[in-house]
Each structure stands twice: as structure tokens, then as C-alpha cells.
């Protein structure tokens, strides 16, 4: 395991908020097999444009690096490539920022073609400024003269063009995958089945909740999803078809959120986040045992706003209730360990997705009985009587069913 100093500059955050992001960055380090030996912080209204820290604090960081003989310095703050390069030259060890940590984790965890492409594009977009900086430094060394361009400079330009070309190529592949996903979503919509997405802070227990819901699923053929107690254990969207009390919905497990989610990742994971944007209902899973769950809750809502998913109905559930000593009577608690609250949550999901049922009779000609299969997810047949020219059917269903079969009511009279 590599050793590191964790560095951070508190820019207009209160002490509690700053401690949250530092602790989160420690967990990101652990996920990358990096042990944080010591923390070096400074409070400032702005970053030093050249070295991030003030000169005195940078000297202190340099001494800590020497004292602990660490392998790298990790900055909580996202720094541009020029600043990272200057700090690295000054202190003599590798310097990385929080975005780099998250990209490393995503690179390790990505499994599907889509997740791998998304992560690869985000990495290339993150690394591209390094080549621009190298080109700038090379141009400055030769005095900006076009006549002094050599093979080295040509190689840099070629490298930049190759990276830009690769980014464009990956974007095209992701666009095709996104179109394919949209087509699948369109076909699902044509079956009128509702969709529910699990959202929340990373490691809040979304995958555990999905597996618990699947335990009560009448569709026993659906497989459980992988659960791990770590940040960003889920990168690839998992989809399961859930049936409960004669009602069905698609359940999506999505990538978790963190504070200040890097822009590169939001852009790269647009197609994955479509599962959130297209949902009829969001289940916001909150780790009630985390001392900073209020802040994590707010970060999730900020991220939903960023991806334009803040207008979708939300059910909040406070997970890990089995670890709590005190409870707020106004909150909805669940436990994926003790299964507390799961049946109530399932009832709430069904009642929210299908708020009102209609009971009515129709006379349906045999040639139109394919409609029963089409709206199967939305109706329940309570009685059926076959006649020569069709069936008299008693139906319980939602408004979609009522509207679809309305004209067949007239056939009874």
C-alpha cells in the first residue's frame, strides 16, 4: 500500500463541511490502496494560482513529505495540470487530485463495455491538458519560433491529435450505445411498465436494498446484484423486473454520488444517468448511520439538479437503521440487514406508481384480446365469461387501463 499526505484548502466551507470532504477523500484513497499518513490543510478565500497553497504552507507540506517518506500527495481540491506540475517539482513526489482518484477507482471497477468507454473518455479528457502544457512549455523553450519546430514538438502535436481523435471516437461509440439504450427504454415504455431508480450517496446501500427488494420479488428468476462495502462499488446500471402485489416495475441500481462530482464524470456517464432521468420514481437511499448524512442528502439533490432529474417524485429512505440508537420520528427508516421497513416501502412504491385503481366490466371481442397481454402489467382480471362474439371481463386497473378499455364498456349495453 502506498503512503500519502492528504492536502486540502478550505475555500468558504464551514469546518464540518470541510471535514466531510476530507474524510471522503480518505476513503477514496483507501479504495485506491493509498494510506493517508497525515493531513495538511489551510483555510483561504482562494487558491494560489501557481502553487495552490501559500508559500509557507507549501514548505510545511514539503517537510511532511520528507519526514514520512511518502509516495505521493493527494489534494482534496481539483487542481489544473499546471498547478499540479509546479507542486510536484517543488516537493519531489507525485501529486494527484481528487478527480484523479475517482478516475482510478472507476478504471478498476468498470466491467461493461459502456462503463469502460465512459471511464476511458473521462480519463482522456482529464489528461489532455497535460499535453497542452507540454506543448506550451516546448513552444516557450524554443522562443515561440515556428522555424525551430523539431521532431519532439511534432510528436507532442501528434500525441494531442491522437488523444482528441480517440475522444471523438469514444463519444461516437457512446452516442450509439445511448441511442440503443433509448430504443430499449422506448420499447419498455410501450409495455407501459413503470421504472424506479435507486439514487444516493456512494456506499449508502443501494445495491443491498435492490437485493432485499428482489428477495420479495415474485419473479424468482431475477439474479441478485453484487454488494461491496466500498465507494463506487456500482458503476454499471443493473436492471431487474420486480413484481409485488400483482403490480410490476423495473428497478435500476445506479452509480453513487459524491460531493463535487467531477464535471468529466458527469459528462462521461450521461448514458448511465439516463436511467435516473427516465425514471417514474426515485428511491433516495441515505445512510442514516453516517454522522454527515444530512450533507450527503443535500449533495445527492444537488447532483440530481445538475443532471436535470430534480423534477421526478422521490421517496427518501434512511438505511442502516439497525445501527442507530436514536431515531427521528419524521423519517422513514429501513434496514437491509434486519429487513425492517421493506414491506412498507414496497407498498409505498406500488401506491406511488399506481395511485388509483378502477374496477369495471368490458365486453372484449376475441380479435382484440391481445390488449390483455399488452396491458398485463397494469391490470388484474377478477372474472371472465366467454360468449360467442367475445368475453365479458371484470377488470381492476389503473387509469392507463381504464382509458385503453373505455370504449369496450359500451359493448355491454
What pLDDT does residue 136 have?
57
The residue-averaged pLDDT of 367-381 equals 85
My answer on whether 341 and 365 are in the same domain is no
Average pLDDT in the 202-219 region? 86
**Cross-strand pairs, 3:** 35
Residue 271 has pLDDT above 80, yes or no: no
The pLDDT confidence band at residue 190, using thresholds 50, 70 and 90, is low
pLDDT digits (tens, 9 = 90+) for 300-355: 898 888 888 899 999 999 999 999 999 999 999 999 999 999 999 999 999 898 87
Based on the domain organization, do 385 and 337 belong to the same domain?
Answer: no
One domain, residues 344 and 204: yes
Judgement on whether residues 57 and 126 belong to the same structural domain of the protein: no
Residue 99 located in a structural domain: yes
- Domains held by the chain: number: 4
The percentage of residues in the chain with a pLDDT greater than 70, rounded to a whole number, is: 82
Mean pLDDT lowest among 15-29, 98-112, 141-155 = 141-155
- Helix-strand-coil split of the chain, %, nearest 5: 50, 20, 30
Is the pLDDT at 227 greater than 70? The verdict is no
Q: Contact 288/328 with Cβ under 8 angstroms? A: no
- Averaged over 262-291, what is the pLDDT? 79
**Pick the residue with more confidence: 143 or 13?**
13
- Choose one of 304, 334, 353: the last residue of a domain: 353
Least confident of 8-12, 196-200, 265-269: 265-269
- Same domain for 230 and 277, yes or no, is yes
d(CA 104, CA 120): 10
Does pLDDT of 152 surpass 70?
no
pLDDT at 63 over 60: yes
Helix pair angle (15-31, 293-306), 10° resolution? 80
Identify the pLDDT of residue 230: 47
Domain assignment present for 311? yes
Share of the chain above pLDDT 90, in %: 34
Query: pLDDT band at residue 141, thresholds of 50, 70 and 90?
Result: low
Residue ending a domain, choose from 123, 150, 179: 179
Task: Place 285 in a pLDDT band, splitting at 50, 70 and 90.
Answer: very high
Closest CA to 184 of 67, 274, 73, 116: 274
CATH number where 50 lies: 3.40.50.11060
What does DSSP assign to residue 44? -
User: Residue 163 and residue 158: Cα distance in Å, rounded?
Assistant: 9
Residue 188 lies in a domain: no
User: Would 203 be classed as within a structural domain?
Assistant: yes
User: How many Å apart are CA 172 and CA 178, to the nearest integer?
Assistant: 10
Kindly report which listed range (93-97, 259-263, 274-278) carries the lowest average pLDDT score: 259-263
> Is 159 found in the same domain as 254?
no
Final residue of a structural domain among 150, 179, 208:
179
Which residues are 379's β-sheet partners?
Answer: 397
Same domain, 261 and 160: no
Report pLDDT for 413. 47
> Do residues 252 and 205 share a domain?
yes
Cα separation, 300 vs 305, whole angstroms: 9
Strands 358-364 and 238-244: unpaired
How confident is the prediction for the chain on average, in pLDDT?
83
Task: Give me 146's grid cell.
Answer: 515556428
Grid cell at residue 12: 468558504
- Please report whether residue 186 resides in a domain: no
| pLDDT value of residue 192 | 66
Both 333 and 373 in a single domain? no
pLDDT reported for residue 222: 56
Identify whether residues 197 and 235 lie together within a single domain: yes
Is a pLDDT exceeding 90 seen at residue 236?
no
pLDDT of the residue at 333: 97
The answer to whether residue 324 is domain-embedded is: yes
pLDDT mean over 196-209: 89
| More confidently predicted of 376 and 344 | 344
- Do 287 and 364 belong to one domain? no
Please identify which residue in the block is written with the cell numbers 478527480.
99
Could you give the angle at which helices 113-141 and 151-190 cross, rounded to 10 degrees?
150
Pairing status of strand 94-97 against strand 34-43: unpaired
Range of the domain at 98: 2-106
Where residue 397 falls among pLDDT bands split at 50, 70, 90?
confident
| Residue the block writes with cell 397481454 | 373
At residue 186, does pLDDT exceed 60? yes
Structure confidence at residue 110 as a pLDDT band (50, 70, 90): confident
Q: Given this model, what pLDDT does residue 35 score?
A: 95
- Which tens digits make up the pLDDT trace of 158-175? 878 888 899 899 889 988
| Residues 313 and 248 placed together within one structural domain of the fold | yes
What's the distance, Cα to Cα, between the start and end of the chain in Å? 79
Task: Kindly write down the DSSP assignment for every residue of 55-101, as one continuous string.
Answer: HHHHHHHHHHHHHHT-SEEEESS---HHHHHHHHHHHSSEEEEHHHH
* Domain of residue 263, CATH code: 3.40.50.300
Residue 21 lies in a domain: yes
- The verdict on residue 301 lying in a domain is yes
Q: Residues, the chain, total?
A: 413
How many angstroms separate the CA atoms of 333 and 383, rounded?
39
Q: How confident is the model at residue 67 (pLDDT cuts 50, 70, 90)?
A: very high
Amino acid at each position: 500500500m502506498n503512503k500519502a499526505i492528504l492536502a486540502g484548502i478550505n475555500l468558504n466551507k464551514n469546518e464540518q463541511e470541510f471535514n466531510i470532504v476530507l474524510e471522503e477523500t480518505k476513503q477514496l484513497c483507501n479504495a485506491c490502496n493509498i494510506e493517508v499518513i497525515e493531513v495538511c490543510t489551510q483555510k483561504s478565500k482562494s487558491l494560489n494560482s501557481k502553487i495552490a497553497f501559500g508559500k509557507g504552507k507549501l514548505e510545511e507540506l514539503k517537510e511532511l513529505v520528507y519526514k514520512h517518506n511518502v509516495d505521493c500527495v493527494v489534494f482534496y481540491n481539483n487542481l489544473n495540470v499546471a498547478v499540479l506540475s509546479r507542486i510536484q517539482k517543488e516537493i519531489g513526489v507525485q501529486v494527484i487530485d481528487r478527480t484523479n482518484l475517482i478516475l482510478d477507482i472507476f478504471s478498476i471497477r468498470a466491467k461493461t463495455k459502456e462503463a469502460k468507454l465512459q471511464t476511458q473518455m473521462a480519463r482522456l479528457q482529464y489528461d489532455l491538458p497535460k499535453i497542452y502544457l507540454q506543448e506550451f512549455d516546448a513552444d516557450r523553450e524554443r522562443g515561440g519560433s515556428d522555424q525551430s519546430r523539431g521532431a519532439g514538438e511534432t510528436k507532442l502535436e501528434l500525441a494531442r491529435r491522437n488523444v482528441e481523435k480517440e475522444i471523438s471516437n469514444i463519444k461516437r461509440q457512446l452516442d450509439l450505445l445511448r441511442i440503443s439504450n433509448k430504443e430499449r427504454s422506448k420499447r419498455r415504455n410501450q409495455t407501459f411498465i413503470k421504472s424506479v431508480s435507486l439514487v444516493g450517496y456512494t456506499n449508502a446501500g443501494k445495491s443491498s436494498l435492490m437485493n432485499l427488494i428482489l428477495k420479495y420479488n415474485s419473479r424468482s428468476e431475477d439474479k441478485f446484484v453484487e454488494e461491496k462495502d466500498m465507494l463506487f462499488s456500482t458503476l454499471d446500471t443493473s436492471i431487474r423486473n420486480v413484481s409485488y402485489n400483482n403490480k410490476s416495475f423495473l428497478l435500476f441500481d445506479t452509480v453513487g454520488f459524491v460531493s463535487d462530482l467531477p464535471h468529466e464524470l458527469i459528462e462521461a456517464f450521461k448514458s448511465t444517468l439516463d436511467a435516473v432521468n427516465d425514471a417514474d420514481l426515485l428511491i433516495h437511499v441515505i445512510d442514516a448511520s453516517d454522522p454527515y448524512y444530512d450533507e450527503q442528502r443535500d449533495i445527492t439533490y444537488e447532483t440530481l439538479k445538475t443532471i436535470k432529474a430534480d423534477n421526478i417524485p422521490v421517496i427518501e429512505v434512511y438505511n442502516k437503521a439497525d445501527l442507530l440508537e436514536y431515531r427521528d420520528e419524521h423519517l422513514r427508516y429501513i434496514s437491509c440487514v434486519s429487513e425492517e421497513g421493506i414491506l412498507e416501502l414496497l407498498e409505498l412504491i406500488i401506491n406511488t406508481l399506481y395511485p388509483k385503481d378502477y374496477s369495471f366490466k368490458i365486453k372484449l371481442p376475441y380479435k382484440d384480446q391481445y390488449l390483455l397481454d399488452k396491458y398485463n402489467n397494469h391490470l388484474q382480471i377478477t372474472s371472465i365469461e366467454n360468449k360467442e362474439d367475445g368475453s365479458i371481463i371484470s377488470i381492476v386497473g389503473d387509469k392507463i387501463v381504464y382509458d385503453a378499455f373505455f370504449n369496450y364498456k359500451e359493448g355491454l349495453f
